[in-house]
C-alpha cells in the first residue's frame, strides 16, 4: 500500500470514528485494514466475524467516509482477510505508544446529574483554565461512573481550545509499565520527558500504584516536577486519597492537596438521559418507555447500564423485533438483568459459574488453550466479569492470567459480535447471567 493511500485510509478511519461512534467503530471497523485501490474501488480486508456488519449495516458509513476523503464517489469492497498482505509487526517500543484522548469522550457527550455535577464542573474549570482552577484535581468513585470520560474530556477540550498546550493521558498501569521499560533499557530520559514535559498530565486509576514502591516514588517526583513547572495534574481513583493504604503518605498528601471530588451512582433521571444519549449516538431506535424500564432495572453504574442496552439490542436483532418495553422486559427476564445485585458478584463467582456451565475445570478455564470450547468459555467469563462486576480491565486480566487488559478487551469484542449473530452464543451468555444473578 502506498504512503498516500495509507494516509488516506487513516483519514477515512478518523471520519468513521466520528460518524459511527467509538463503540461501533471499535467493534466492527477497527479490525479492517486497507488492501489497495482498484480503480474507483477501495478494497478492505478483515476477520470473518466483522464482515457482515462492516459491509452490511455499516456499509453506508464506509462509503460516505471514503467519498468525503477522496472527494468523489468511491465504491468499497470488504473481503475476508487471508493475512499474507498484512504488514509486519512493528518492533516493540521502549514503552507503550501514546493513543491520545479518545475523541468519543467529550464534555458534550457527558450526561450531568446530581451524582456528578461537582466533578463535571471541576473538570470543565480545569480544562478552561489549567493550573488556575484546581491543581491537582482528584476525582474518585467506583468503576464505571464516568471518571475516565471526564479525563478524556479535559484532554479533548485542551487540544481544541488550549492554544497549543500539551496534554498526556495515561493509566497508572501505563505509567508503571513505561517506567519499568525505561529502567530495563537503562534510559529514563525519554520517560521523564514524556511525563514531565507536558502542560497537563491526566492519570487514570491511580490505585494501581498501591504497593509498587518504585513506581510510587517516580510518580511522587513526577508530581513535584509538574507542580514546580506550573503544569496541571488530574488524577482519578476508586477511593479517597486517605484510603490508599498501599501508597506512601507523602504521595497521598500530594493527591489531597488540591480539590478532591467524587462521582456517585447516577439517579434514575440521569440513567434515562445516559441511555437516551447513548442510543442517539449509536443510531439505535428504541422507545422512551423501553429506556425507562432499562434505567429502572439496572442501577449499579453507567457501564452496566450501557452493557444492558447492548444485550437488549442484540436480543432484538436476533428476534427481529422492534425495541420497545415488552421486548426489554422479556430480555431482562430471560437474562436475569433485573440486577441491582450485580455489585455483589465477584470474578471468582463468574469463573465458577463458567466452569460449571461449560463443564470445565478451573485450570482449563484459566489456561491459554486455543481450543474453541475452552477459548469461548474463557471469553464469555471475561465478558461477564466486565459487565457484572465492578472490577477494572487490568484486574480482570490478572484474575484470568492474561498478559494485559487488551486480552480482556478482545474477549469482550468477540462476545459482543457472537451474541449479535449467533443464537447459541446469546443463549450461553443469557444462561450464565441468570445463574449469576440468582446466586448473588
Closest of 278, 302, 338, 314 to residue 416, by C-alpha:
314
Q: What is the band of 85 on the pLDDT scale with cuts at 50, 70, 90?
A: very low
Question: Percent of the chain beyond pLDDT 90?
Answer: 28
Q: How far is CA 314 from CA 32, 125, 290, in A?
A: 22, 39, 15
Residue 91: predicted pLDDT: 35
Alpha carbon distance 397, 414 (integer Å): 16
Phi and psi torsions of 291, nearest 5°: -65, -40
Q: Which CATH architecture has domain 3-80?
A: 2-Layer Sandwich (3.30)
Q: Which of 144-158, 250-264, 284-298 has the lowest mean pLDDT?
A: 284-298
List, for residues 354-378, the tens digit of each pLDDT value: 999 999 999 999 998 889 999 999 9
E strand segments, 104-225:
137-140, 167-171, 200-204
Q: Residue 100: how many CA atoms within 13 Å on its side-chain side?
A: 8
Tell whether the torsion through CA atoms of 281, 285, 288 and 294 is positive or negative.
negative
Q: What is the model's pTM?
A: 0.57
Find out if CATH 3.20.19.10 is the number for domain 268-439.
no
CATH 3.40.50.300: which residues of the chain?
Answer: 117-262
**Assigned CATH class of 117-262:** alpha beta
Q: Which three cell numbers stand for residue 391?
A: 472490577
CATH 3.30.300.180: which residues of the chain?
Answer: 3-80
Mean pLDDT computed over 242-257: 90
Q: What is the band of 339 on the pLDDT scale with cuts at 50, 70, 90?
A: very low
**Virtual torsion, Cα 374, 376, 380, 383, nearest 10 deg:** 110
Residue 439: predicted pLDDT: 63
List, for residues 178-201, the tens digit of each pLDDT value: 898 888 888 888 888 889 889 999
| Average pLDDT over all residues of the chain | 83
The β-bridge relationship of strands 259-262 and 33-38 is unpaired
**What count of other Cβ atoms lies within 10 Å of the Cβ of residue 423?**
12
Give one DSSP letter per residue of 287-331, joined into a string: -HHHHHHHHHH--S-HHHHHHHHHHHHHHHHHHT--B-HHHHHHH
Closest of 98, 258, 93 to residue 169, by C-alpha:
98
**3-class secondary structure, 80:** strand
Amino acid at each position: 500500500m502506498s504512503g498516500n493511500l495509507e494516509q488516506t485510509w487513516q483519514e477515512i478511519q478518523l471520519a468513521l470514528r466520528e460518524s459511527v461512534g467509538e463503540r461501533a467503530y471499535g467493534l466492527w471497523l477497527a479490525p479492517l485494514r486497507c488492501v489497495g485501490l482498484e480503480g474507483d474501488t477501495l478494497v478492505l480486508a478483515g476477520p470473518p466475524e466483522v464482515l457482515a456488519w462492516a459491509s452490511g449495516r455499516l456499509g453506508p458509513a464506509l462509503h460516505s467516509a471514503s467519498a468525503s476523503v477522496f472527494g468523489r464517489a468511491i465504491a468499497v469492497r470488504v473481503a475476508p482477510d487471508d493475512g499474507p498482505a498484512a504488514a509486519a509487526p512493528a518492533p516493540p517500543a521502549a514503552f507503550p505508544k501514546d493513543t491520545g484522548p479518545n475523541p468519543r469522550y467529550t464534555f458534550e457527550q457527558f450526561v450531568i446529574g446530581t451524582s456528578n455535577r461537582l466533578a463535571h464542573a471541576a473538570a470543565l474549570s480545569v480544562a478552561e483554565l489549567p493550573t488556575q482552577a484546581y491543581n491537582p484535581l482528584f476525582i474518585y468513585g467506583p468503576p464505571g461512573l464516568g471518571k475516565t470520560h471526564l479525563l478524556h474530556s479535559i484532554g479533548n477540550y485542551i487540544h481544541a481550545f488550549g492554544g497549543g498546550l500539551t496534554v498526556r493521558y495515561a493509566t497508572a498501569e501505563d505509567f508503571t509499565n513505561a517506567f519499568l521499560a525505561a529502567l530495563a533499557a537503562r534510559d529514563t530520559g525519554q520517560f521523564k520527558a514524556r511525563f514531565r514535559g507536558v502542560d497537563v498530565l491526566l492519570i487514570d486509576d491511580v490505585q494501581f500504584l498501591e504497593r509498587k514502591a518504585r513506581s510510587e516514588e517516580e510518580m511522587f517526583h513526577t508530581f513535584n516536577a509538574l507542580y514546580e513547572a506550573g503544569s496541571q495534574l488530574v488524577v482519578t481513583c476508586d477511593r479517597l486519597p486517605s484510603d490508599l493504604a498501599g501508597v506512601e503518605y507523602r504521595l497521598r498528601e500530594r493527591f489531597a492537596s488540591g480539590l478532591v471530588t467524587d462521582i456517585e451512582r447516577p439517579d434514575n433521571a440521569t440513567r434515562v438521559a445516559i441511555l437516551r444519549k447513548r442510543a442517539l449516538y449509536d443510531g439505535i431506535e428504541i422507545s422512551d418507555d423501553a429506556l425507562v424500564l432499562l434505567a429502572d432495572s439496572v442501577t449499579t453504574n453507567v457501564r452496566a447500564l450501557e452493557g444492558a442496552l447492548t444485550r437488549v439490542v442484540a436480543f432484538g436483532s436476533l428476534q427481529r423485533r422492534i425495541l420497545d418495553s415488552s421486548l426489554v422486559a422479556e430480555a431482562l427476564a430471560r437474562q436475569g438483568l433485573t440486577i441491582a445485585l450485580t455489585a455483589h458478584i465477584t470474578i471468582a463467582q463468574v469463573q465458577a459459574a463458567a466452569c460449571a456451565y461449560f463443564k470445565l475445570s478451573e485450570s482449563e478455564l484459566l489456561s491459554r488453550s486455543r481450543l474453541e470450547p475452552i477459548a469461548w468459555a474463557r471469553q464469555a467469563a471475561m465478558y461477564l466479569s466486565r459487565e457484572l462486576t465492578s472490577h477494572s480491565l487490568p484486574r480482570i486480566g490478572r484474575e484470568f492470567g492474561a498478559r494485559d487488559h487488551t486480552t480482556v478487551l478482545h474477549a469482550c469484542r468477540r462476545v459482543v459480535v457472537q451474541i449479535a449473530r449467533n443464537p447459541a452464543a446469546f443463549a450461553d451468555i443469557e444462561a450464565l447471567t441468570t445463574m449469576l444473578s440468582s446466586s448473588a
